[in-house]
Chains A and B, each alone.
Chain A
């Protein structure tokens, strides 16, 4: 029981303690090398990342742009499976305190068995899940109870085209934080935020949601990170980090440098 309680609170505890400037970094499990998952997670936490968002590789990641697609494919070619990923996450959990969120498409989880998966994820020390193609209704009717019984927070996405009414519904079902997609797009690095994006963030800010927001998709530099933080509790960086990993021949240096360049003053 104690373990579950502790787990339930890892994401909430973080947001209670730090209301601003949180950095969540997405990386694909099993990329660039199959057994890099633990090493990268440790380096990220040590460098100052606040949340580890670990991608579950899938053959058909429709919400992702080309960089993350390629990392998914490489990870699968490296022999990644969901079982192996859960083993890696358990090992990582022993080395880091940061919340761990798995981001992945529904089919691999469905094949694993949603209940079996939730139990295994909880046992491995996972705190939350982002499943972009699991719809709200399906989640509420079929899986919410199972997620909650295992102390897993389901993180929903919203985008500039999400209606206010639906944002309210998502807010009422969410627990942890809401992932605000910065523009109508798949993942992938872009330049700066546009006027429209800023007014969308302002609109969200004014809604005074019960859950904190993290802004993601297209954040690749300090300017974008700082701008996102102005409107939210923090930001999520993915494609830019994956691109860096792909080029890196020295993660021990490059990961701290990447995090520093975004976040630390």
Chain B
């Protein structure tokens, strides 16, 4: 999972940014590793993860789910993080980094609103000004999160261009950064964007797999699951869950993308099926696009997976066959979300429900140890669950 010096994972990655952003991205590139290694940084980061976020999150043996799938199924409970998803691991890290860089203002993009809420939260914590860009459509389907950000003191700015979802919010955040390069840090919410963002975000999220290893060691005497399953929008929760297992070839890593209404329907977000190498938001990666290189508007019932690309490291891990990618339709994900609620008393975020849906697509041996990264909880999605009905 190591990025090379030029910011590439195999053929994917790089920093395809307008010159106006070069000083900012270059500053980050040349300092992020050394800042993250400072004792003062580590102390503050580890401390906040423990006392503010609530880490370590439990690794929960889901016994009724295990019975149903005839395997030992664990849930990594990122849904129990403060603010309700894994996103906060990254925003805590980046806000401390922003302080070390002397920045006073924060911008972010958000899809489901989880990253926006996690950013607004750490900005409140640190007393920094916060602006969050969010597609107008996403603002409508994730209303509670919009209000949460506002309560936390953030300004939420609707993006009205394109499909008015995550891609467009990201465009707007980049434009804002171009216009405010000196005092502002851009907290990207996934393992996307120009180098060093994918690597930096993956490092902040890698605490997930670090904990899984030590928790499994405690449970079973060794750190190895047979499967790690995570949903992939941009890919940050998956990057965190896979990070410390990538070198262990015997651990099966499964990424689950949103198929939307079906990969062949034209309403999908399954990038590894539908994408080709391309350049968007600062990196070369797999991208859903027309033959003419125009980015295709993705679709998923889940706002957090509604993105036309995936992080460059995932494009690479897909390319070399290290991660197997599956996809789940809206319907499969909703059914899996409702099933998990009934079987285990956990209402998952619809993003995370895509990972749960993968259980139906895999065959296990009874001895198999399966870890599902439950990236978030379903509170923000209540309205979508209600509209879906069928429960």
Contact = CB atoms under 8 A, between A and B. Distances in A.
A30 to B, nearest CB: 12
A138 B161 contact: no
A201 B350 CA distance: 52
A63 B278 contact: no
B178 A63 contact: yes
Contacts of B179: 184-186
Given A133-B279, A186-B175, A107 B19 contact: no
B292 interface: yes
Interface of B: 6, 14-20, 22-23, 161-162, 167, 171, 174-175, 178-182, 276-282, 287, 289, 291-295
B18 A107 contact: no
Nearest to B24: A161
A48 B291 CA distance: 37
Interface in A164-192: 166, 181, 184-186
Contacts of A65: 175
Contacts of A134: 16
A106 B19 contact: no
Contacts of A15: none
A158 B23 CA distance: 11
A73 B279 contact: no
A135 B287 CA distance: 19
Given A106-B279, A135-B17, A157-B18, 5 more contacts: A59-B295, A111-B292, A135-B14, A137-B6, A138-B14
A23 B185 CA distance: 36
A166 B162 contact: no
Contacts of A107: 278-280, 287, 289, 293, 295
Interface string A70-98: 00010010000111000000000000000
Contact of B16 (A59, A83, A106, A181): A106
A137 B19 CA distance: 11
B294 A58 contact: yes
B6 A111 contact: no
Nearest to B161: A69
A109 B279 CA distance: 10
Contacts of B18: 62-63, 132-133, 157
A105 B167 CA distance: 16
A138 B293 CA distance: 19
A247 B188 CA distance: 38
B16 A138 contact: yes
Contacts of B276: 111
A162 interface: yes
Contacts of A194: none
